[in-house]
Amino acid sequence: MTIRGKAFVVGAYEHPRRDIPDLSVAEIHAEVALAALADAGLSPSDVDAYFCDSDAPGVGPLSMSEYLGLRCRYLDTTETGGASYLSHVGHAAAAIAAGKCRVALCVMGGRPRTLRIAAGPNLSGAPETDYETHWGITDTVHNYALAAMRHMHEFGTTSRQLAEVKVAASLHAQHNPNAFLRKAVTVEDVLSSPMISDPLHRLDCCVMTDGGGAVVIASAEVARRLPRRSVAVLGHGEAAKGTGTGRPDLSHTAAVWSGPAAFAEAGVTPGDVDYASIYDSFTITALLALEDLGFCEKGEGGRFVEDGALVAPHGRLPMNTDGGGLCNNQPDNRGGMARMIEAVRQLRGEAAPEVQVPDCRLAVVHGSGGRLATRSSAATLVLGREDA
Amino acid sequence: MSTRGEGTQREGASTPLPRADFTPSGADETFWAATAEGRLLLSRCESCATIVWYPRPFCPRCGGRGITWFAASGEATVYTYTVVRKARGAYRELTPYVVAYVELAEGPRILTNIVGCDPAEVRIGQRVTLVFDPPAPAGDGEGEGEVRARLYRFRPSG
């Protein structure tokens, strides 16, 4: 069974605010859920499946489906950190293809900026905790810095090359009125920002924002009768990568498994892709994903991102045209949903005019979660224009 | 888990890194009890001979339920590292310090600190040697029979 041609993104909504001290997380969920349904031309009574992560308030899908007045016959709370929402869409598409549901609502939201909640898994009771947490990895960036340092050693990647990922994001964010950081920055700006954890500077790190987002996935039959241009879910892959028996390889991510699975299901190759939304918790996160998804050879990521390759509309691979997690939005310390919504905008032709990729037909969305240097998730979606 | 002061004295640093302050349980007790005696134990699967890190009472490669403990040689090389310049909690005032993965002579890559040198001198591939934090002072709030774990760190060899 394949999901290709069976499921469509029919509605999407990203919360416009980045500081939300006045709403509860449940209220943020409701705002984005109702707005995504309105975007689709659907109402809560059309929904029969609900997807959320483990940060959703209460007993996740039970509390939230009740709050929203939904009557669901399919529920999923896959929790893989920032990649969760891409998995949710893949799982929703499979459930729709199997006839288990027809309209799936996938929702996330959070207020880490207001509540000053740092990113990171709850490791209480995890078997690895006492072997990883006592040596001063107090923030996610310390863990990702280990991967960045190893990449530099193995492949000669430079801080200037990592900075190119941030520069491209900032050039895009200028055109996004909702972006948290809207100022264009240079490579020199990145290199002169404070070093947080060698080799990662402050500007190698994503923003910390309140916010949320939602997408509505529907069957072909439902999508056909809706007024809005929909986006086809063509392929999905996901994977987890850990430390195995204790010889972690920090040069690869689980994208080496999720990417080929998604491309194979969609029947396309990286060379066919017009636009990429790739989760950029740190500059190194996106660079490793570009290599592992096959946009360039392993170790060539640094050279690949030079010369404006990621800058829309005319770069070799326009990436994160909303400004990404590095500049636009990182709701709930998790980037997958916001990145996916920008890919939907690109395929609908509704991105900011300055960054809209001309004739954008095929997009890849890639998310990661957990921590790159220990255990992390990857989820990849291939999305296509309705007529792709 | 939390960590507290009075651990490894770092050369050129005025403050030691926080030492262990947690209660291990299950199979982990064997491992942490050995650290109290200054030994870093590794476990080998009795079925497939895989040396497994982190320790657990079975083999994640073959599913074997029998494991044998043995002491690591303490020799390792730096696989990767970072100099932490901004941190939180017990480590907040102790920057800069070095977090690293070191590859043990026996194979596993483990998370640790590189101590006893200027952080700027650490390099990938550098040979390093196991050191343990000093034991906690007697009567320092630990319960009767509780494991007095000590953290393992590494310093440049030679």
By Cβ distance, the residue of B3, B84, B151 closest to A142 is B84
Over residues A267-290, the mean pLDDT reads: 98
8 Å CB contact between A173 and A181: yes
Q: Nearest residue of B to residue A123 by CA position?
A: B1
Q: Nearest residue of A to residue B24 by CA position?
A: A130
The confidence band for A118, taking pLDDT boundaries of 50, 70 and 90, is confident
CB of B22 within 8 Å of a chain A CB? The answer is yes
Instruction: Give the pLDDT confidence score for residue A331 in this predicted structure.
Output: 94
Q: Helix or strand or coil: residue A7?
A: strand
The confidence band for B14, taking pLDDT boundaries of 50, 70 and 90, is very low
Please give the order of strands across the beta sheet that includes A211-219. Answer: A74-76, A49-51, A103-110, A211-219, A7-14, A231-241, A376-385, A362-370, A275-278
Instruction: Give the pLDDT confidence score for residue B2 in this predicted structure.
Output: 44
For A7-111+206-385, CATH gives 3.40.47.10
| B146: pLDDT strictly greater than 80 | no
Instruction: Give the pLDDT confidence score for residue B148 in this predicted structure.
Output: 77
The confidence band for A307, taking pLDDT boundaries of 50, 70 and 90, is very high
By Cβ distance, the residue of A131, A199, A200 closest to B54 is A131
CB of B58 within 8 Å of a chain A CB? The answer is no
Instruction: Give the pLDDT confidence score for residue A162 in this predicted structure.
Output: 98
Lowest pLDDT segment from A63-77, A111-125, A326-340, B138-152:
B138-152
Residues of B in contact with A149 (CB under 8 A): 80-82, 124
Residues of B in contact with A145 (CB under 8 A): 82, 84
Q: Which of residues 199-258 of A touch B (CB under 8 A)?
A: 199-200, 243-248, 250
Spatial distance between the Cα atoms of B10 and B21, rounded to a whole number of angstroms: 19
H/E stretch holding A337: helix A336-348
Instruction: Give the pLDDT confidence score for residue A116 in this predicted structure.
Output: 85
Share the mean pLDDT of chain A: 96
Angle, CA B113 vertex, CA B109 and CA B119 arms, to 5°: 120
Pairing of strands A275-278, A362-370: parallel
| B135: pLDDT strictly greater than 50 | yes
Instruction: Give the pLDDT confidence score for residue A2 in this predicted structure.
Output: 86
Q: Exposed (0-12), middle (13-18) or buried (19+): which is A21, by Cβ within 10 Å?
A: exposed
Q: pLDDT digit string (tens) for A33-87?
A: 999 999 999 999 999 999 999 989 999 899 999 999 999 999 999 999 999 999 9
Distance from CA of A150 to the nearest CA of B (A): 5
Over residues B67-96, the mean pLDDT reads: 96
Instruction: Give the pLDDT confidence score for residue B141 in this predicted structure.
Output: 52
- Pick the closest to residue A44 from A28, A58, A33 (CA basis): A33
Please give the structure tokens belonging to residue B153.
Answer: 């760190």
Instruction: Give the pLDDT confidence score for residue B21 in this predicted structure.
Output: 75
By Cβ distance, the residue of A137, A195, A247 closest to B85 is A195
Over residues B21-44, the mean pLDDT reads: 87
Angle, CA A198 vertex, CA A192 and CA A200 arms, to 5°: 60
CB of B131 within 8 Å of a chain A CB? The answer is no
- Pick the closest to residue A310 from A209, A129, A172 (CA basis): A172
Please give the structure tokens belonging to residue B47.
Answer: 């079925």
Over residues B74-97, the mean pLDDT reads: 96
Over residues B3-12, the mean pLDDT reads: 55
8 Å CB contact between A347 and A335: no
**Are B84 and A197 a contacting pair at CB < 8 A?**
yes
Which one of B82, B94, B155 makes the best mutation probe of the A interface by having the most chain A beta carbons within 10 Å? B82
Spatial distance between the Cα atoms of A307 and A387, rounded to a whole number of angstroms: 32
Lowest pLDDT segment from A131-140, B61-70, B129-138:
B129-138
* A301 alpha-carbon distance from chain centroid: 19
**Are A138 and B3 a contacting pair at CB < 8 A?**
no
Spatial distance between the Cα atoms of A133 and B1, rounded to a whole number of angstroms: 8
Residues of A in contact with B120 (CB under 8 A): none
For B21-134+147-156, CATH gives 2.40.50.840
8 Å CB contact between A24 and A55: no
| B144: pLDDT strictly greater than 70 | no
* B127 alpha-carbon distance from chain centroid: 16
CB of B47 within 8 Å of a chain A CB? The answer is no
Over residues A170-179, the mean pLDDT reads: 98
CB of A125 within 8 Å of a chain B CB? The answer is no
Instruction: Give the pLDDT confidence score for residue A51 in this predicted structure.
Output: 98
CB of A99 within 8 Å of a chain B CB? The answer is no
Q: Nearest residue of A to residue B112 by CA position?
A: A135
Instruction: Give the pLDDT confidence score for residue B145 in this predicted structure.
Output: 55
Residues of B in contact with A198 (CB under 8 A): 82-83, 85
Phi, psi torsion values for B92, nearest 5 degrees: -60, -40
Which of the pair, A257 or B12, is modelled with greater confidence?
Answer: A257
| B142: pLDDT strictly greater than 70 | no
**Are A149 and B3 a contacting pair at CB < 8 A?**
no
Q: Please, which residues have CB within 8 angstroms of residue A149's CB and are 6 or more apart in sequence?
A: A198, A199, B80, B81, B82, B124
H/E stretch holding B111: strand B109-114
By Cβ distance, the residue of A131, A145, A194 closest to B111 is A131
Q: Tell me how far CA of residue A288 lies from CA of A184, A343, B108, in angstroms.
A: 23, 20, 23
Please give the structure tokens belonging to residue A97.
Answer: 């293809």
| A15: pLDDT strictly greater than 70 | yes
Instruction: Please report, for chain A, the start and end positions of each structural domain, with discontinuous segments joined by +.
Output: 7-111+206-385
Spatial distance between the Cα atoms of B69 and A72, rounded to a whole number of angstroms: 51
| B1: pLDDT strictly greater than 60 | no
Distance from CA of A249 to the nearest CA of B (A): 9
Lowest pLDDT segment from A94-108, A127-141, B142-156:
B142-156
Share the mean pLDDT of chain B: 87
Residues of B in contact with A245 (CB under 8 A): 50-53, 59-61, 108
**Are A245 and B61 a contacting pair at CB < 8 A?**
yes
Instruction: Give the pLDDT confidence score for residue B17 in this predicted structure.
Output: 83
Q: pLDDT digit string (tens) for A197-253?
A: 999 999 999 999 999 999 999 999 999 999 988 999 999 999 999 999 999 999 999
CB contacts < 8 A, A to B, total 120
pLDDT above 90 coverage of chain A, percent:
92
Phi, psi torsion values for A131, nearest 5 degrees: -100, 0
Phi, psi torsion values for B123, nearest 5 degrees: -135, 150
Spatial distance between the Cα atoms of B59 and B65, rounded to a whole number of angstroms: 7
| B75: pLDDT strictly greater than 90 | yes
Instruction: Give the pLDDT confidence score for residue B134 in this predicted structure.
Output: 86
By Cβ distance, the residue of A118, A149, A245 closest to B81 is A149
By Cβ distance, the residue of A134, A194, A200 closest to B20 is A134
Lowest pLDDT segment from A55-69, A80-94, A117-131, A297-311:
A117-131
Distance from CA of A131 to the nearest CA of B (A): 7
